[in-house]
Structure formats: structure tokens, C-alpha cells
């Protein structure tokens, strides 16, 4: 204000003016809760199959207060049928006047794109809120052994999943695990080794890496064993988590919602709906002329594996079974009928590895036929076949349910702490280090990773 308009005001007056401008543009936070029930009803009417739940609590002398809200768009509910059954869950803080948390559940389509499934606004990340969220999510994400959840190691998530999804698998995010390792044991190389061990497809490769971890820090190895090897490693996990080793899907989705997290609740929901509508429309238009074949991302993976398999020695063992020797002399057994390889990459990702491609070429079998159908264009188009529409105007005042037909919804009792809310999250120790390395460059030779004092050209 001083530089552009020559107006001398204090920092806090400028900040309060900004908040007043946001309220003028987006509406009052308190009034937004009062209009929420009608908005949700209009959203349901416009999008058949949408799941919307509003939970309130009665406070004497005040009336009904907002407690929880859950929304899963009808298009996402229908599209989950065409997803790999791996669900990434996460929670992030809201920065509006009444604070709270936004809980999200996301999947990944056959083209490795974020596919938001559901979201909820709750008072915080606690046992009751996560359990309530999972109960609503279970209406279309079943409690089955084939379903896998990936999350950070928040205790309330573990508690909620154990009650609502006892039959489903649960895996820890590798990024958060590495962050804990760096914080607790403060040895930089341990993070890399933990990530390498977690991503290993074969038991032998895992134990080879885990032996290095034990030799560096036995306490760290004991800590990882106590967590449960099946909980954070791909080689020991009995289910199938495909390529999803982290909760980066949810982190990316939270980044998209970074600015909207300070909006009143109705503009927040509308921002999410608009973003989903844009994604569905854009992705649908990009694939409307392609009816067969595999998704672009999987085609690129197959192309990379095809280049690797050049020079492999393939020998037939039995019908549909082949022995493949790579360039280093290692031997692998591929069964094209079972879609498996002794490297375990084929059956873990449901995408042929380089050994399987070499065996398929020897057997004169189509490589595309070995890929799981979830990666086909048919499934990708099925995921985005439904539209997401804006709320419609109702001719009556019907609400979500009869018992709340005369509901006057008040804001929750929670309040945002005083002061300016943070726009960016705190970086972990490893992230801060990498950020500093990326930004450091030499002013003499413009090279990265060193400065003018240590530049070789200066020496």
C-alpha cells in the first residue's frame, strides 16, 4: 500500500482489510453455514448418486451447530468401479474463521492421474471424526480384502480403519516414514535405504538393503521391524498396492486446495466441485476419440521396458513358461499364463516387466494382452463417463432429510487461533536440505551445488 498507493497503514490494518475483502467476495463464514443444508440439497438434485451427509449437535441456548460434513460426488462414486482399489487418505487443516480439518480420500486412474473420491469437513483429526468419515466412505468403498488404504501413521487413522475396515489392507506412506527416520535417527543415508527397501519387489533385494540399514543403525532396523515389515514394504505386503507407495496423491490434492482452504464452507465445497468438473471434462475430451488400446502412461512404461529387454536371452521351459537371462547374467522365470515373473514386478504392478516382454516376443504373444484391463482406455473412459453439474435452483425448500427441514445451522464452536494463518506447510528435514541444494548455485560459472568460493574456475 505504501509503494503502490502511498497510503501509510499498519500491517494488521492491511491484513484485516484483506479479510474484509475476502468476506465481501466469498460471503460471511457464519452465514455460509446457514445456507449449507440448502446448497447440499441442490447439489444432490443436480448430481444423482451424490452422497452428502451433514451431522449436527444441539447446544442448549444456541441451537444446532455444525459438526461434520461428508460429500462424494455421484460421478466419483460411479467411477470408483474402474479404479485400482487403492485409496489414499489424508487430512489437512482449514484456515477459515472456524478452523477445522479437511479429510480426503483419493484413488489413481489407469493413466496415473489423481481421482478424488470423497472429502469431509470435521472439527479435527481425532478418533471420532476419522471413524465417522470411514463409515460414510464405506457406503461405496467396500470392506474387502482387495481394498488397500495408504496413509501417514496418524493414530486416529489406524483406530478408524481397524473398526470400519478390518478386512482391508493398510500401508504406511514411505515419505512420512522416511521423515520419521530422519527425525529420530538423524542419519541422512537411512532415508534413502528405507525407501529402496520399501520399493523392492523381491525378498532377496529387500533383505540385502535391510542388512545395510542394520549395519548403519541397529536401532533403526528394530524400529522398522516393530512397525511390521508387511506394513511398509512392497515385498512383504500380502495385498497389491501397485505403484502407490506414498500419499503424494493426497498431498497434491491438498496443494490444489491450498487457497480455497480459507474460504467459507459453501465456497470451499463449490471450489472443489468446480475443480472436479474441470478435471472430468478435460480428461474426457482428451480421450473421446480413442476407444481401444492402453492408457498413455502405461504405453510409456511398456516402451521403457521394451528398450531394457534388448539382448535378453530367452529359452522355453514349458507351455507359456520361459527362462529369461538379462544382460548381467541373472535368471528369471516368466509364466505368461499366470502373468507372473520371478522378479515379482509383473504381478505387483499388473504391467509386464522387461523379462515378461522378452518372453512374450519369443512366444509371439501380444504384450498389450498381458496388461491388466484396468489400464485400458475402456476403463479410463468409464471412469469419466459421468458429468459433474452445478447445483440447481429448487422450487421448494426441501432439505436433505425431514428431521432437519426447519434447521437453522450455526457455525461450530471451534475458532482459528489469532494471527495470520500460514500459507505453506513446514518442510521436513530432508525437504529443507534438498530445497537449499536446489537453490544454491555459483555466480561465476552458474553451476549448481557449489558457490563462488569453491568454484573450480576460481581456483
Pairing between β-strand 114-122 and β-strand 169-172 as defined by DSSP bridges = unpaired
| 6 in any annotated domain | no
Quote the CA–CA distance of 194 and 210 in Å, as a whole number: 8
On whether both 326 and 370 belong to a single domain, the answer is yes
Quote the CA–CA distance of 237 and 170 in Å, as a whole number: 9
| 19 in any annotated domain | no
On whether both 230 and 265 belong to a single domain, the answer is yes
Quote the CA–CA distance of 260 and 455 in Å, as a whole number: 44
Reduce the secondary structure of 45-109 to three states and give it as a string: HHCCCCEEEEEEEEECCCEEEEEEEEEECHHHHHHHHHCCCEEEEEEEECCCCCCCEEEEEEEEC
On whether both 251 and 142 belong to a single domain, the answer is yes
The residue count of the chain comes to 459
- The phi and psi torsions of 414 (rounded to 5 degrees) equal -70, 150
Pairing between β-strand 169-172 and β-strand 148-151 as defined by DSSP bridges = parallel
b or e along 122-149 (b: 16 or more beta carbons within 10 Å of the residue's beta carbon)?
A: bbebbeebbbbbbebbeebbeeeeebbb
On whether both 194 and 308 belong to a single domain, the answer is no
On whether both 79 and 99 belong to a single domain, the answer is yes
On whether both 347 and 436 belong to a single domain, the answer is no
Task: Determine the pLDDT at residue 15.
Answer: 61
On whether both 156 and 255 belong to a single domain, the answer is yes
Quote the CA–CA distance of 154 and 127 in Å, as a whole number: 10
Supply the angle between the helices 218-227 and 203-216 in degrees, to the nearest 10: 130
On whether both 147 and 80 belong to a single domain, the answer is yes
Quote the CA–CA distance of 394 and 329 in Å, as a whole number: 70
Neighbours of 30 (CB within 10 A): 13
| 386 in any annotated domain | no
On whether both 75 and 197 belong to a single domain, the answer is yes
Q: What is the mean pLDDT of each run of 10 residues along the chain (459 residues)?
A: 73 65 63 90 94 90 88 96 96 87 95 96 93 97 95 94 96 91 84 93 95 94 94 93 92 89 92 96 92 93 94 93 94 95 95 96 94 96 95 61 56 63 47 41 56 53
Residue pair 147/241 in contact (Cβ under 8 Å)? The answer is: no
Pairing between β-strand 331-335 and β-strand 340-341 as defined by DSSP bridges = antiparallel
CA 353 to chain centre: 25
On whether both 210 and 108 belong to a single domain, the answer is yes
Task: Say how many Å lie between the first and final Cα of the chain, rounded.
Answer: 47
Residue pair 96/27 in contact (Cβ under 8 Å)? The answer is: no
On whether both 313 and 445 belong to a single domain, the answer is no
Residue pair 360/337 in contact (Cβ under 8 Å)? The answer is: no
Domains contained in the chain, number: 3
| 448 in any annotated domain | yes
Quote the CA–CA distance of 32 and 12 in Å, as a whole number: 25
On whether both 233 and 118 belong to a single domain, the answer is yes
| 160 in any annotated domain | yes
Report the predicted TM-score, pTM, of the whole model to 2 decimal places.
0.84
Return the biggest CA–CA distance within the chain: 84
Alpha-carbon distances, residue 291 vs 113, 160, 194, 378, 381 (angstroms) = 19, 40, 41, 6, 8
| 190 in any annotated domain | yes
Task: Determine the pLDDT at residue 30.
Answer: 76
| 308 in any annotated domain | yes
| 230 in any annotated domain | yes
Q: Determine the structural domain holding residue 446 and report its residue range.
A: 426-459
Amino acid at each position: 500500500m505504501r509503494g503502490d498507493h502511498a497510503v501509510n497503514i499498519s500491517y494488521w490494518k492491511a491484513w484485516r482489510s484483506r479479510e474484509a475483502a475476502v468476506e465481501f467476495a466469498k460471503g460471511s463464514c457464519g452465514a455460509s453455514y446457514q445456507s449449507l443444508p440448502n446448497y447440499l440439497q441442490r447439489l444432490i438434485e443436480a448430481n444423482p448418486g451424490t452422497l452428502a451427509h451433514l451431522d449436527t449437535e444441539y447446544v442448549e441456548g444456541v441451537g444446532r451447530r455444525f459438526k461434520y460434513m461428508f460429500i462424494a460426488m455421484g460421478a466419483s462414486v460411479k467411477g470408483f468401479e474402474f479404479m485400482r482399489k487403492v485409496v489414499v487418505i489424508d487430512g489437512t487443516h482449514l484456515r477459515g474463521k472456524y478452523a477445522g480439518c479437511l479429510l480426503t480420500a483419493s484413488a489413481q486412474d489407469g493413466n496415473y492421474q489423481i481421482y478424488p473420491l470423497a472429502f469431509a469437513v470435521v472439527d479435527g483429526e481425532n478418533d471420532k471424526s476419522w471413524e465417522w468419515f470411514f463409515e460414510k466412505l464405506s457406503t461405496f468403498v467396500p470392506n474387502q480384502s482387495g481394498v488397500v488404504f495408504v496413509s501417514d501413521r496418524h493414530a486416529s487413522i489406524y483406530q478408524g480403519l481397524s473398526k470400519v475396515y478390518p478386512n482391508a489392507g493398510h500401508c504406511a506412506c514411505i515419505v512420512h516414514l522416511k521423515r520419521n527416520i530422519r527425525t529420530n535417527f538423524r542419519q541422512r543415508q537411512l532415508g534413502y535405504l528405507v525407501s529402496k527397501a520399501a520399493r523392492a519387489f523381491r525378498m532377496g533385494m529387500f533383505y540385502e538393503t535391510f542388512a545395510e540399514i542394520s549395519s548403519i543403525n541397529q536401532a533403526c532396523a528394530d524400529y522398522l521391524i516393530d512397525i511390521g515389515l508387511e506394513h511398509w514394504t512392497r515385498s512383504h505386503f500380502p495385498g497389491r498396492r501397485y505403484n502407490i507407495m506414498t500419499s503424494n496423491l493426497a498431498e497434491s490434492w491438498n496443494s490444489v486446495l491450498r487457497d480455497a482452504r480459507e474460504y467459507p464452507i459453501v465456497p470451499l465445497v463449490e471450489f472443489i466441485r468446480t475443480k472436479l468438473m474441470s478435471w472430468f471434462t478435460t480428461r474426457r475430451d482428451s480421450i473421446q476419440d480413442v476407444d481401444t488400446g492402453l492408457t498413455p502412461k502405461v504405453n510409456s512404461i511398456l516402451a521403457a521396458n521394451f528398450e531394457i529387454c534388448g539382448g535378453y536371452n530367452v529359452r522355453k521351459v514349458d507351455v507359456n513358461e520361459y527362462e529369461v537371462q538379462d544382460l548381467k547374467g541373472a535368471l528369471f522365470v516368466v509364466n505368461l499364463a499366470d502373468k507372473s515373473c520371478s522378479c515379482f514386478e509383473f504381478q505387483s504392478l499388473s504391467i509386464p516387466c522387461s523379462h515378461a516382454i522378452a518372453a512374450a516376443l519369443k512366444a509371439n504373444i501380444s504384450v498389450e494382452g498381458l496388461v491388466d484391463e484396468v489400464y485400458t482406455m475402456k476403463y479410463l473412459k468409464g471412469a469419466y463417463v459421468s458429468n459433474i453439474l452445478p447445483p440447481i435452483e429448487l422450487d421448494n425448500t426441501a432439505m436433505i432429510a425431514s428431521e432437519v427441514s426447519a434447521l437453522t445451522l450455526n457455525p461450530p464452536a471451534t475458532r482459528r487461533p489469532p494471527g495470520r494463518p500460514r500459507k505453506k506447510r513446514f518442510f521436513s528435514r530432508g525437504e529443507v536440505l534438498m530445497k537449499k541444494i536446489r537453490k544454491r548455485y555459483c555466480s561465476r560459472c552458474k553451476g549448481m551445488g557449489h558457490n563462488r568460493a569453491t568454484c573450480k574456475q576460481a581456483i
